[in-house]
């Protein structure tokens, strides 16, 4: 009888630990009921004063998740060896918005909401603010204990082949469909000409442009990023629709109007090309698949990469430094 009782108690403790260890929608609904609306308000204010903010925040979540999992590792600022200074993170922005939201949260529910979750919530709000789909974001991540400039070697790179891009996604538990849908995050935001040099002026060491660029688009791209011009000049990644979250990015990729080389590469592989094309079948508007629903599904999947729970992480007081 006694043994039975102990077994039941142990079972209960285990169940509680398991449920605490899992991501779920509304993780903070009891512990910090206003967490999501606080983040949303901060993101909205920031976007009002700078329309580029939603793109910063969406990209930030990707860069957080792909290194050491979605654990806020990219936010740490502890000198030159911090992960955030690694070259694959070049141009990543939005840190002060996350820090502002975190500070507001600490005022209301100290030590409760992780920085990794603030990043995930902010990315969700960024998509909605750009007229993309609103979705329920899973929360319950803990913040990690690592930040090392050498940990970004498997970040996807703009010059990667489609095989390598697929491989790097598979390593994170993401499939070819996720690669296509998450690449479509480039429906908002801009790129520096820095990332266009090879594609425009020395594609595959040819000394010329990427032949997959539509000839009608090439002059526009070359004049936006002239040879030996300002590498910091910026242009929208989604030609003609850089502020609005929509399927135009996939249409552009199909028709040779991709801006980034890695986006164009989706057409180099039968599987990824088939996934892009699947959104443009004659019957697609009626019978699906739904670009927005699939994007959301992939975002949720990305948000689960390498999630830290239990004692493998903690809740930071300030996002840029360990407690």
Ligand X SMILES: *[C@@H]1O[C@H](CO)[C@@H](O)[C@H](O)[C@H]1NC(C)=O
Q: Which residues are annotated as a binding site for Ca(2+)?
A: 64, 67, 69, 71, 73, 83, 187, 238, 246
- Binding segment toward ligand HEM, per CB under 6 A, in 8-16, 55-63, 75-83, 270-278: 55-63
C-alpha distances out from residue 184 to 19, 26, 43, 262, 322, Å: 33, 26, 21, 11, 33
Per CB under 6 A, the list member of 28, 195, 257, 279 interacting with ligand HEM is 195
Stretch that binds ligand X, among 6-14, 147-155, 165-173, 311-319 (CB under 6 A): 147-155
3-state secondary structure at position 192: strand
Q: Which does 81 bind (CB under 5 to 8 A by kind): ligand X, ligand HEM, none?
A: ligand X
How far apart CA 157 and CA 153 sit, in angstroms, is: 10
Distances (CA, A) of 67 to 25, 83, 143, 151, 260: 23, 9, 13, 7, 22
In 3-16, which positions are buried (b, 16+ CB within 10 angstroms) versus exposed (e)?
eeeeeeeeeeeeee
Residue 24, phi then psi, degrees to nearest 5: -155, 160
Site for ligand HEM, residues 115 to 174, rule: CB under 6 A: 156-158, 165
Helices vs. strands in the chain: H and E counts, helices first: 14, 4
55 binds, among ligand HEM, ligand X, none (CB under 5 to 8 A by kind): ligand HEM
Cα gap 25→29, rounded to integer Å: 9
Q: Considering the complex, what minimum distance in angstroms separates the CB of residue 260 from ligand HEM?
A: 6
Nearer to ligand HEM, 114 or 262 (CB): 262
CA distance 263 to 269: 12
Q: Is 89 a catalytic residue?
A: no
Question: Contact between 56 and ligand HEM (CB under 6 A)?
Answer: yes
Among ligand HEM, ligand X, none, partner that 218 touches (CB below 5 to 8 angstroms by kind): none
- Residue 303 binds ligand HEM (CB under 6 A): no
**Which option in ligand HEM, ligand X, none does residue 252 bind, with CB closer than 5 to 8 A by kind?**
none
165 binds, among ligand X, ligand HEM, none (CB under 5 to 8 A by kind): ligand HEM
The stretches of 1-135 forming alpha helices (DSSP H) are 2-21, 35-49, 53-65, 95-108, 115-129
69 contributes a contact to ligand HEM by CB under 6 A: no
Residues of the shown chain interacting with ligand HEM in the complex, contacts defined by CB under 6 A? 52, 55-56, 58-59, 62, 91, 93, 156-158, 165, 182-183, 185-186, 188-192, 195, 260, 262
Residues of the shown chain interacting with ligand X in the complex, contacts defined by CB under 6 A? 81, 148-150
Catalytic residues: 63
């Amino acid at each position: 009888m006694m043994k039975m009782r102990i077994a039941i108690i142990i079972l209960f403790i285990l169940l509680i630990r398991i449920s605490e260890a899992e991501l779920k929608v509304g993780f903070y609904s009891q512990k910090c009921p206003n967490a999501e609306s606080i983040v949303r308000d901060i993101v909205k204010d920031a976007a009002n004063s700078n329309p580029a903010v939603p793109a910063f925040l969406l990209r930030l979540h990707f860069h957080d998740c792909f290194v050491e999992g979605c654990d806020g590792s990219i936010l740490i600022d502890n000198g030159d060896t911090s992960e955030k200074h690694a070259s694959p993170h070049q141009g990543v922005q939005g840190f002060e918005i996350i820090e502002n939201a975190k500070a507001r949260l600490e005022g209301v529910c100290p030590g409760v909401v992780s920085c990794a979750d603030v990043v995930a919530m902010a990315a969700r709000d960024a998509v909605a603010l750009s007229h993309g789909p609103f979705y329920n974001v899973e929360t319950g991540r803990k913040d990690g204990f690592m930040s090392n400039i050498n940990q970004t070697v498997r970040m996807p790179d703009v010059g990667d082949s489609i095989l390598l891009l697929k491989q790097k996604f598979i390593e994170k538990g993401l499939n070819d469909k996720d690669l296509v849908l998450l690449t479509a995050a480039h429906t908002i935001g801009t790129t520096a000409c820095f990332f266009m040099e090879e594609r425009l002026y020395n594609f595959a060491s040819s000394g010329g442009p990427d032949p997959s660029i539509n000839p009608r688009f090439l002059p526009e791209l070359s004049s936006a990023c002239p040879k030996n011009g300002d590498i910091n000049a910026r242009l929208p990644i989604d030609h003609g629709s850089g502020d609005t979250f929509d399927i135009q990015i996939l249409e552009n990729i199909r028709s040779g109007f991709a801006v980034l080389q890695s986006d164009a590469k989706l057409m180099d592989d039968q599987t990824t090309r088939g996934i892009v094309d699947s959104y443009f079948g004659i019957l697609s508007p009626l019978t699906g698949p739904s670009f927005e629903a699939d994007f959301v599904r992939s975002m949720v999947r990305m948000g689960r990469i390498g999630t830290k729970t239990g004692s493998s992480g903690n809740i930071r007081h300030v996002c840029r430094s360990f407690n």
